[in-house]
Amino acid sequence: MSAPLELRAGALIHLLQTDPHTKCEGVAALARAHADGSLAADPAASFEPAGAIPGRPGKPELVPPRLVGRRSMATPEGRAMLVHALAHIEFNAINLALDAVWRFPGMPPAYYADWLRVAKEEAYHFSLLDAHLGTLGHAYGDFAGHDSLWEMVEKTRGDILARMALVPRTLEARGLDAIPPLRAKLAQAGDLAAAEILDIILRDEVGHVEIGNRWYLGLCRERGLEPIATYEALALHYKAPVLKGPFNLEARRRAGFSEAELARYRGDSVSFAP
């Protein structure tokens, strides 16, 4: 940034950025400027994006999830595909955090600070995975990816309550369940560097889901809504996916899920069909 910016305007600028490395550098600079007091969020400001949201590179090709390809741990190519898939998730997570900052006016300063922190940490995760992908002879964009995470971001663009319910505490929370078995597979295959990156990601993702839970519960209190029933209604309305177990109940507990809600995650799957 050549000059200090209002935080939400800065988030939008970096959301529109198409180059992943420039996006990551911009997010880090935005977080530094916010930390040293150079800029703050204007909750009342209104912005019009000057480009397609989100900004993406020309690759990877986006395909339905079933066409992304198998990720066997038996070969370096298979491990590279898995690391690429994880990098793609983290790249999308940068965008969803930036979108949460710029899109929703009228929130307290702590809300914008929380989601800027998430964007910064997701950019760090992407950078770690992207660098590791290079050691496997590949680069981000070499394999196909899917767009399921951003599709829910787009669906919930009109309601911050739905966004908090269905992106961090639903789709991102799936990572809390998925990371431990993926980490075990990578370690068993001898890729200890990738396994250590997943340790970092799991640690941080607990905090990200906790942020989503905290703002969701706060919005429910503000609107006089019962959280569990409201969540189920939102999941049904927005067609949230069936969540497959096993579920990482301890990580979900640390991320702010209540015992009443965790009781729903003790089976093999969670569906919100009528």
3 state DSSP class of 243:
strand
Q: Which segment of 46-60, 77-91, 193-207, 259-273 scores lowest on mean pLDDT?
A: 259-273
- Are 144 and 60 in contact by the 8 Å Cβ rule? The answer is yes
Q: Say if 145 falls within a structural domain.
A: yes
Return the pLDDT at 3: 41
Q: Say if 22 falls within a structural domain.
A: no
In the predicted structure, residue 27 carries a pLDDT above the cut 90: yes
In the predicted structure, residue 268 carries a pLDDT above the cut 90: no
**Short-list 133, 97, 132, CA closest to 207:** 97
How many domains does one find in the chain? Answer: 1
Q: Say if 9 falls within a structural domain.
A: no
In the predicted structure, residue 267 carries a pLDDT above the cut 50: yes
Angle (CA) 166-80-18 rounded to 5° is 55
Return the pLDDT at 66: 75
Q: Say if 24 falls within a structural domain.
A: no
Domain region containing 85: 63-270
> How far is the CA of 192 from the CAs of 11, 23, 139, 189, in angstroms?
34, 28, 19, 8
Q: What does the DSSP 8-state code read for residue 145?
A: B
3 state DSSP class of 177:
helix
Domain CATH code at residue 265: 1.20.1260.10
In the predicted structure, residue 2 carries a pLDDT above the cut 50: no
Calpha distance 151→247 (Å, rounded): 23
> How far is the CA of 241 from the CAs of 116, 125, 173, 244, in angstroms?
27, 25, 12, 9
State mean pLDDT over 44-53: 84
State mean pLDDT over 44-66: 87
Q: Say if 6 falls within a structural domain.
A: no
- pLDDT, one tens digit per residue, over 207-248 is 999 999 999 999 999 999 999 999 999 999 999 988 888 999
Return the pLDDT at 5: 66
**Phi, psi angle pair for 243, to nearest 5°:** -95, 125
Report the length, in residues, of the chain: 274
Q: Say if 32 falls within a structural domain.
A: no
Return the pLDDT at 48: 83
Q: Say if 177 falls within a structural domain.
A: yes
Give Rg (Cα) of the chain. Answer: 18
Q: Say if 10 falls within a structural domain.
A: no
